[in-house]
Amino acid sequence: MTGPADLARQVLDVVENLVPLWFSALEDVTPRLSPRQVLALRAVRHRPELNLTTLAEQLEVGLPTASRLCDRLEAAGLLQRCVRLDDRREVGLVVTARGRGFLADVTERLSVRLADALGALPPAERARVEQALRALG
């Protein structure tokens, strides 16, 4: 039986093989964003209560770096900063309709690439992948 450390290395190998699929999905969408910009946009979409400080903490970057990320996303029309009604000193972050469309496009392109990769596996291997994902989920 495989130990946790060996299994972790196998999972890492799989993840490293999936990263190029994600990068290729990003290359096909407009506007062209860095992976970190996409991660920031996704973080705000998943947690609409995020402010700039919390986003910086979640991305593990400094506040100036997070601010520049948001500047670029806002300039592209993907993100909007807004003053919170309950605390006018705090600026909230909101993904715009264009930003949601962008993320949906990236997700769709990545889904197609993953479906192609999984479709190339024999049925028994796909079943094992599905079982492993259920166990991790």
Residue pair 126/115 in contact (Cβ under 8 Å)? The answer is no
Whether the model pTM is above 0.95: no
Q: Which of 97, 101, 33, 19 is nearest to 70 (CA)?
A: 33
User: How many separate domains does the chain show?
Assistant: 1
Parent domain of 18:
4-136
Would you give per-residue pLDDT tens digits along the chain (137 residues)?
678 888 888 888 888 888 888 888 888 888 999 999 999 999 999 998 789 999 999 999 999 999 999 999 999 999 999 887 777 677 889 999 999 999 999 999 999 999 998 999 999 988 888 888 888 87
CATH of the domain at 127: 1.10.10.10
